[in-house]
Amino acid sequence: MANDREVLREIWDGKLPICFQLAQEEIMEIQQPDPFYVMVPRLSYFPLVTDKMKRHFLRFISQENADNEMWLDYNGQPLKWHYPIGFLYDLYCGIDPQLPWTLTVHFTKFPEDVLLHCPNKDVVEAHYMSTVKEADVLKHRGQVMSTMQKKDHNQLWLGLQNDKFDQFWAINRRLMESHGDNEGFKHIPIRIYSDDGSCFQRLVSPKNVDGSRKVLQQMIAELYPDKINIKLRTHGITLPLDTPLQWLSEHMSYPDNFLHLCVC
């Protein structure tokens, strides 16, 4: 069970300073818009935190584009809104931290082939809930999510959306419990990303064949038998290789219940 509150709280409080700049081609006014500075929770998603920024830039763009879907890029790389912000930062800037993280805001030329559309926050919620469900299927054969009530799901989402740690963890702790007599999850919901953004997902058990706790190093050896010296990064830190996977999953998963690890 995830009860190392100190670690959970530290992860929850992780924030990134971001500097949004409107793409030059969007600017229709003579006056240059000021960049928009904001502290963003690492665990959140861009569509949840960009309302104000969008309003800030709207008056500088052509009115015919005002209803277009906004999207962001970092160094020309479109940012996928359905990944947590902190993960995106680790992916693109993890090796070479650059703060504030300067992102460019676009209202035109939506990269249809790279990004999913996100017309409103309900879509984010739907995507988020489906990811939590997927994680629960891996952990408990989906038994926890299916026994939860609609309002529990709601509380989980609202907790994340409104940055309420206690509200979120009141529900999420149930997802992080081991069930029945099994100590540990059935499988660890884990996604590992290469620096090019490609994702890699396998069934990973929290235990070794002999029943002992599997640590990160052992998983790496299984997944990358030919590579050595692989380091994994998440939440802005490099993970010690002797961390048990079960603990890692309970404490260092993103709110969508997945461990998003970047290879570096």
Partner 1 sequence: MSSSSSLLFSINNEGKVYALSTSGSCWREFMYLGLEFKTLSAVPHYLWAVGGDRQIYLHVHGLEIPIRVKEESYENERWLPLEGFSGRLLPTDRYHFSSQDGTKDRSIDRIRLPSMAWQWEGDWQLELTLDGQPLDHDGWSYAVDFPAHFSPVKQWKSCVRRRKWIRYRKFSAMNSWCAIAPLHKDPTQEPFIDVSIGGNEIPYASPGTLSVWAITAHGRVMYRAGVSTVSPEGLKWINVSIPPNCDIKQISVGPTGLVWALLWTGRAIVRKGVTKDCPNGDGWLEVKSPSETKLSVISVGYNAVWAVGSDTRVWFRKGIDGNLAGSSEAAAMGNGWLEITGHMIHISVGKNDQVFAIGDTDKCIYWRSGITQSELTGKRWRMVQANMQLSRTSSSASVVSSASNAKHHSLTTLSETTPELKSNIHLHNSWEESHSAPIEHTLPVKPKDRRPKGNTNVENIDLTGKSYETTLKNPRAWSPVRSVGSVVGMEAQPDSDSSVFDVDSGMYFDEEVSQTAWGTCDTTWAFVEAGACSMDTVQVPHWFTDNQNAHNSDLNTKWRVQILENLKTRNQIQDIDLTNYGIAIEEKGWTRSCEARLVCANNTFEDSILSLYWHALENIGTLSVFQPDGTIKFILNLGEVTSVFTSSEPGCPRITMLVPRQLRDGIKVQFISEMEQEEWFSVLVDITSQINGLSGKPSPNSIWAITNLGDIINWDPMAAQLNTEYNGSYKKEFQVFGKDIMSGFSTNLNNNFLPGSTLKITGSLSDDIKRFHINLQGPEIKKQRHKIELEVTDIPLHFNVRFDESIVVCNSKSFGNWGVEERHPLPLAQGQEFSVTIVSESKGFKIVVNDKSYCFFEHRLNPENITSISVQGPLKLYTMDYCTTSVIIDPEEMIWRVMGGYLRRIESCQNGIIWGISHDHRAWVYTGGWGGGILKAIGSNEGINPMTDTQTYCVYENQRWNPLSGYTSTGLPTDRYMWSDITGRHKRTREHTKLLGRHWHWISEWMIDYNTPGGVDNDGWQYATDFPAPYHGKKIFTDCVRRRRWYRKAQIVTEGPWLRAGSTALLDISLWNNGEDVTVWAITLGGEAIYRTGVTANTPAGVHWEHVNSPQSFIAISTCNYMIWAVGRKGELYYRDGSSKENISGSSWKLIETPKCNTPFNPKSSVGVKCVSLTKYSAWVLLSNGLISVRTDITQEHHDGKHWKYLTDSEMTFKDVSSIEHEVWAVCTDGTLYRRLGVTAENPTGSVWQRVHSGPTVHVTARGSLLE
Residues lying near partner 1 in the complex (CB under 8 A):
1, 3-7, 10-11, 13-15, 17, 36-41, 44, 48-49, 52, 99-100, 161-163, 166-167, 170, 178, 181, 183-184, 211, 213, 235-240, 242-244, 247, 252
Complex with partner 1: residue 246 or 257, whichever CB lies closer: 246
257: left (phi over 0), alpha (psi -120 to 50) or beta: left
DSSP structural state of residue 213: B
Across 54-84, b (16+ Cβ under 10 Å) vs e yields eebbeebbeeeeeeeebbbbbeeebbbbbbb
CA terminus-to-terminus distance, the chain: 29
Question: Shortest Cβ distance from residue 216 to partner 1 (Å)?
Answer: 9
Question: Shortest Cβ distance from residue 258 to partner 1 (Å)?
Answer: 18
Complex with partner 1: residue 108 or 207, whichever CB lies closer: 207
Question: Shortest Cβ distance from residue 228 to partner 1 (Å)?
Answer: 19
Question: Shortest Cβ distance from residue 246 to partner 1 (Å)?
Answer: 8
Complex with partner 1: residue 28 or 261, whichever CB lies closer: 261
The encoded tokens of residue 240 equal: 């010690």
Question: Shortest Cβ distance from residue 162 to partner 1 (Å)?
Answer: 6
Question: Shortest Cβ distance from residue 6 to partner 1 (Å)?
Answer: 6
| Best CA proximity match to 148, nearest among 132, 124, 126 | 132
Mode of pairing for the β-strands spanning 199-200 and 77-78: unpaired
Complex with partner 1: residue 40 or 118, whichever CB lies closer: 40
Complex with partner 1: residue 36 or 92, whichever CB lies closer: 36
Q: Residue 105 is inside which H or E element, if any? A: strand 101-106
| Separation between Cα atoms, residue 150 and residue 176, nearest integer Å | 18
| Separation between Cα atoms, residue 33 and residue 124, nearest integer Å | 28
Complex with partner 1: residue 82 or 207, whichever CB lies closer: 207
| Separation between Cα atoms, residue 103 and residue 19, nearest integer Å | 6
